[in-house]
């Protein structure tokens, strides 16, 4: 593949990032998807929309959050200088809210009356329920039965916020199935309902729109690193579920060739164990079409989608956003993976050395930081996207450590 002049020009007007992306949806949804696209491009051109978004991110979400120098971890790992981008300090405890604020403002502009969303870890569900409470809109969250069991605190949180949580019992009863049911709701209630997708996947314009709303992460890192260290970072590491926190922190740096970008997929029980034992779609999948876009998918030889597995409910998805698929093929971003066991160790390590409980999702990225940092010089500036806080995961971690709460 020839190297493009810029990595930031995608998608094209049909939603393609190279061969990936697109609009693979049922006809019932197509007019609506086109409406969302039109409304989004109008909104982006409207200074009032931008102003409103900025104010709410500042006053309600608490942005900018810090770029924190993890001094003790840096000293202990003995190499690169490690920084955490503290998305876990946002209101609701993860990066998901950045996108939810943006999309709910759009839904209101479109005159929509009802919000639906899918959730895996529950972080996107909580963030969606939160903005729906804020704007007094009815909210239905689709969540797999398995995820409901392993993310109880978030389920209760969503209910407290006034959302209805619908348990999804089809398929593997995790994130992919929740997305199927959300799409089924959407085709049924097209007229008044807005589907607030939680990651940089789905049909165009969602991957682009979610990326744009999450790019505030990378923009802040750029300014903060400049202020704190007087230059760009040397590497940035983020976990990949659908890929929204990662594309958000990567995108402003795509055309800065000196900045190494590393995405970390969930290797579950191990990549060598088979397609139902991990959720690393780039490392272990091949291109296919699901949920509105062409991307890397975990699938069998007959094109049936595999269920995938990760200890982390937020990474347990057999696909990945189409822009990541393209960034992989074009070689701009390096994609690696971390297993459940490595992640559990990183989770505990971070808790003890920095006094921060990371989300299990973010702990995957930390695994890669712990692998790389010791091999690098102290001048190397490495940023970890600490996408969320780990309070929601303490039951899962306790269970794996054999502790009963």
Partner 1 sequence: MSAERIARRFARLKAEGRAGLVAFITAGDPDHETSRAILEGLPEAGADVIELGMPFTDPMADGPAIQAAGLRALKAGATTVHTLDLVRALRARDDETPVVLMGYYNPIHSYGVDRFLTDAKAAGVDGLIVVDLPPEEDEELCLPALKAGVNFIRLATPTTDDKRLPTVLRNTSGFVYYVSVTGITGAASAGDAEIAIAVERLKRHTDLPVAVGFGIKTPEQAAAVARTADAAVVGSAIVNRVAAGLDGDGLPKPDLVEDVLGFVRDLAAGVRGARG
From the list 130, 224, 244, 299, which residue makes contact with partner 1 (rule: CB under 8 A)?
299
Binding-residue total with partner 1 (CB under 8 A): 38
For tokens 């086109």, name the residue.
34
Residue 290 lies near partner 1 (rule: CB under 8 A): yes
For tokens 């398929």, name the residue.
171
Residue 398 lies near partner 1 (rule: CB under 8 A): no
> Residue 239 binds which entry of partner 1, ligand PLP, none, with Cβ cut-offs from 5 to 8 Å by kind?
ligand PLP
Pick 36 or 121: Cβ nearer ligand PLP: 121
Pick 290 or 376: Cβ nearer ligand PLP: 290
Annotate each residue in 126-165 with x if it binds partner 1 (CB under 8 A) or - if it does not, as one string: ----------------------------------------
Pick 361 or 376: Cβ nearer ligand PLP: 361
> Residue 301 binds which entry of ligand PLP, partner 1, none, with Cβ cut-offs from 5 to 8 Å by kind?
partner 1
> Contacts from 68-75 at CB under 8 Å and sequence distance 24+?
69/228, 70/353, 70/354, 70/384, 72/353, 72/354, 73/349, 73/350, 73/353, 73/354, 74/373
User: Nearest to residue 381, comparing CAs of 129, 93, 82, 60?
Assistant: 82
Angstrom CA distances, 221 to 146, 365, 381, stand at: 35, 17, 12
Q: Are 327 and 211 in contact (CB under 8 A)?
A: no
CB of 121 to ligand PLP, least distance (A): 4
User: Edge-to-edge strands of the sheet including 260-268?
Assistant: 67-69, 81-86, 381-386, 235-239, 260-268, 333-339
> Residue 123 binds which entry of partner 1, ligand PLP, none, with Cβ cut-offs from 5 to 8 Å by kind?
ligand PLP
Pick 29 or 385: Cβ nearer partner 1: 29
> Residue 241 binds which entry of partner 1, ligand PLP, none, with Cβ cut-offs from 5 to 8 Å by kind?
ligand PLP
Residue 287 bridge partners (DSSP): 296
Residue 169 and residue 146: Cα distance in Å, rounded?
A: 9
Angstrom CA distances, 286 to 116, 277, 319, 388, stand at: 29, 16, 10, 29
CB of 66 to ligand PLP, least distance (A): 17
Alpha helices per DSSP H over 355-402: 360-372, 394-400
Establish whether 387 is a catalytic residue: yes
Pick 205 or 376: Cβ nearer ligand PLP: 205
Establish whether 337 is a catalytic residue: no
> Which range binds partner 1 by CB under 8 A, 56-64, 141-149, 179-187, 225-233?
179-187
Residue 304 lies near partner 1 (rule: CB under 8 A): yes
Pick 184 or 371: Cβ nearer partner 1: 184
What secondary structure letter does DSSP report for 404? -
Residue 330 and residue 83: Cα distance in Å, rounded?
A: 27
CB of 351 to ligand PLP, least distance (A): 15
Q: Are 398 and 385 in contact (CB under 8 A)?
A: no
CB of 388 to ligand PLP, least distance (A): 2
CB of 324 to partner 1, least distance (A): 18
Residue 271 lies near partner 1 (rule: CB under 8 A): no
Pick 102 or 207: Cβ nearer partner 1: 207
Establish whether 399 is a catalytic residue: no
Residue 289 and residue 295: Cα distance in Å, rounded?
A: 6
Q: Are 210 and 358 in contact (CB under 8 A)?
A: no
CB of 302 to partner 1, least distance (A): 5
- Catalog residues that contact ligand PLP under the rule CB under 6 A: 94, 120-121, 123-124, 199, 239-246, 314-315, 359, 361-362, 387-388
Work out whether the CA dihedral 399, 70, 246, 154 comes out positive or negative.
positive
Binding stretches for partner 1 (CB under 8 A): 14, 22-32, 170-171, 176-177, 180, 183-184, 187-191, 287-292, 294, 297, 299, 301-305
Active-site residues: which are they? Answer: 96, 118, 387
């Amino acid at each position: 593949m020839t190297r493009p002049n810029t990595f930031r020009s995608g998608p094209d007007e049909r939603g393609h990032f190279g061969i990936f992306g697109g609009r693979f949806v049922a006809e019932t949804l197509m007019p609506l998807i086109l409406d969302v696209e039109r409304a989004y491009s109008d909104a982006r051109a409207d200074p009032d929309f931008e102003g409103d978004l900025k104010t709410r991110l500042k006053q309600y979400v608490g942005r900018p959050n810090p770029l924190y120098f993890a001094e003790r971890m840096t000293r202990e790992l003995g190499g690169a200088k490690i920084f955490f981008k503290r998305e876990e300090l946002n209101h609701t405890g993860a990066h998901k809210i950045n996108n939810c604020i943006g999309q709910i403002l759009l839904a209101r502009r479109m005159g929509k009356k009802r919000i639906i969303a899918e959730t895996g870890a529950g972080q996107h569900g909580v963030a969606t329920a939160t903005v729906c409470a804020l704007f007094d809109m009815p909210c239905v969250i689709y969540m797999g039965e398995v995820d409901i069991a392993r993310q109880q605190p978030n389920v209760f949180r969503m209910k407290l916020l006034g959302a209805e949580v619908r348990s999804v019992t089809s398929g593997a009863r995790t994130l992919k199935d929740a997305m199927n049911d959300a799409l089924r709701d959407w085709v049924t209630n097209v007229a008044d309902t807005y589907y607030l997708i939680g990651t940089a996947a789905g049909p165009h314009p969602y991957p682009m729109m979610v990326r744009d709303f999450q790019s505030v992460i990378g923009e802040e890192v750029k300014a903060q690193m400049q202020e704190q260290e007087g230059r760009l970072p040397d590497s940035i590491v983020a976990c990949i579920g659908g890929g929204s926190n990662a594309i958000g922190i990567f995108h402003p740096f795509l055309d800065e060739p000196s900045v190494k970008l590393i995405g970390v997929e969930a290797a579950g029980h191990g990549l060598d164990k088979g397609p139902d034992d991990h959720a690393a779609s780039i490392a272990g999948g091949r291109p296919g079409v699901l949920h509105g876009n062409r991307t890397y998918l975990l699938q069998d030889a007959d094109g049936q989608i595999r269920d995938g597995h990760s200890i982390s409910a937020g990474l347990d998805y057999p696909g990945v956003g189409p822009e990541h698929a393209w960034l992989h093929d074009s070689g701009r971003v390096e994609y690696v993976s971390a297993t459940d066991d490595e992640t559990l160790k990183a989770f505990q390590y971070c808790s003890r050395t920095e006094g921060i409980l990371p989300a299990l999702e973010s702990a995957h990225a930390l695994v890669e930081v712990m692998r790389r940092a010791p091999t690098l010089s102290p001048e190397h500036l490495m940023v970890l996207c600490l996408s969320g806080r780990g309070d929601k995961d303490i039951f899962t971690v306790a269970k794996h450590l054999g502790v009963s709460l």
